[in-house]
C-alpha cells in the first residue's frame, strides 16, 4: 500500500502526508513540547502505540529539541508497543501479512522504521509486542474506568505499560505518560463487539434502577 501511495504522488498532483513527509514529523514533535509545558519537565517514560512509527519518532525529536533548549532537564525513555501479529520492529524484519484487530497499527513495514529504532536506542527505551487480548483488556479498562473511548490501537500503549509493570521493568515512583492516538469512532465495529448489545429496559423507575444496579 505504501509503495502504491508513493507511486500515486509521483504520477499525480497528490501530496504524501504520512510519516515519510518530514513536515508531518515536524508538526507531531510539538506534542512532546506540550507534555513538557504541561508537566514542567519531561516524564521519566513515554509510551505510545507503534504502527508506521511516526509518533514515537516525532515525540523523540521534540523531547531532544526541548532538552537542548533547556526547557526540559531530562529526556524520557521511549516505550513503543506493537501488536503481536504486526510487530516488525520487535521481530527485526518486515511482516508480509500483519494481523491484529488494532487496525491502525496493522502495518508490516513502518515508514519511520529507522526513526523509531533511534528513539528506542538513544533513549534507552524498549519496543515490545502486546497481544490482541492484552489490547482489548486495556481498551475495556480505559472506557470503563477512565471514560476514554479510544480505538484499539491506542490501547496498545496502556497494554504495554501493564506488561512492563507485571515484569517489574518500570522503576517505582516514576512518571509515565501514555499517548492515545485515535478516537473510538475510528473502529465502531470493535466497540460493538466488546460492549455487546444492551437489552431494552422498560421506561419505569423500578426497571431502570434495577438495570443500573441501584436496587
Q: Tell whether 1 is covered by a domain.
A: no
Q: Rounded to the nearest 10 degrees, how much is the dihedral formed by the CA atoms of 53, 54, 57, 59?
A: -120
Residue 4 located in a structural domain: no
Torsion, Cα 142 146 147 149, to 10 degrees, reads: -30
Q: Is residue 92 part of a domain?
A: yes
Q: Is position 38 within any domain?
A: yes
Torsion sign across C-alpha atoms 197, 199, 205, 209 = negative
Say what the pLDDT of residue 194 is. 85
> pLDDT tens-digit profile of 19-57?
888 899 999 999 999 999 999 999 999 999 999 999 999
| Residue 161 within a domain | yes
Average pLDDT for the chain:
95
CATH code: domain of residue 24? 3.40.50.1100
Q: Residue 2 domain-assigned? A: no
pTM: 0.88
The count of structural domains within the chain is 1
Domain residues for 98? 14-211
Percentage of the chain beyond pLDDT 90 is 86
Please determine, for residue 196, whether its predicted confidence score (pLDDT) is greater than 90.
Answer: no
Is 123 inside any structural domain?
Answer: yes
| Beta strands at 77-83 and 126-130: parallel, antiparallel or unpaired | parallel
Residues 95-125: tens digit of each pLDDT: 999 999 999 999 999 999 999 999 999 999 9
- Give the model's confidence band at 63: pLDDT under 50 very low, under 70 low, under 90 confident, else very high: very high
Among 96, 99, 73, which residue's Cα sits nearest to residue 86?
99
Strands 176-178 and 45-49: parallel
Amino acid at each position: 500500500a505504501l509503495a502504491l501511495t508513493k507511486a500515486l504522488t509521483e504520477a499525480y498532483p497528490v501530496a504524501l502526508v504520512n510519516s515519510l513527509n518530514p513536515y508531518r514529523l515536524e508538526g507531531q514533535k510539538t506534542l512532546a513540547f506540550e507534555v513538557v509545558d504541561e508537566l514542567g519537565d519531561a516524564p521519566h517514560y513515554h509510551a505510545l502505540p507503534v504502527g508506521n512509527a511516526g509518533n514515537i519518532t516525532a515525540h523523540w525529536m521534540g523531547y531532544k529539541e526541548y532538552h537542548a533548549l533547556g526547557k526540559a532537564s531530562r529526556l524520557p525513555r521511549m516505550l513503543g508497543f506493537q501488536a503481536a501479529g504486526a510487530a516488525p520492529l520487535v521481530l527485526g524484519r518486515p511482516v508480509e501479512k500483519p494481523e491484529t484487530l488494532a487496525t491502525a497499527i496493522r502495518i508490516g513495514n513502518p515508514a519511520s522504521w529507522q526513526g523509531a529504532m533511534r528513539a528506542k536506542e538513544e533513549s534507552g527505551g524498549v519496543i515490545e509486542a502486546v497481544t490482541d487480548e492484552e489490547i482489548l483488556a486495556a481498551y475495556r479498562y480505559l472506557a470503563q474506568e477512565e471514560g476514554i473511548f479510544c480505538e484499539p490501537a491506542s490501547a496498545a500503549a496502556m497494554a504495554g505499560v501493564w506488561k512492563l509493570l507485571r515484569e517489574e521493568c518500570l522503576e517505582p515512583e516514576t512518571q509515565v505518560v501514555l499517548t492515545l492516538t485515535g478516537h473510538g469512532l475510528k473502529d465502531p465495529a470493535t466497540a460493538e463487539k466488546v460492549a455487546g448489545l444492551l437489552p431494552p429496559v422498560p421506561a419505569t423507575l423500578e426497571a431502570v434502577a434495577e438495570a443500573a444496579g441501584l436496587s
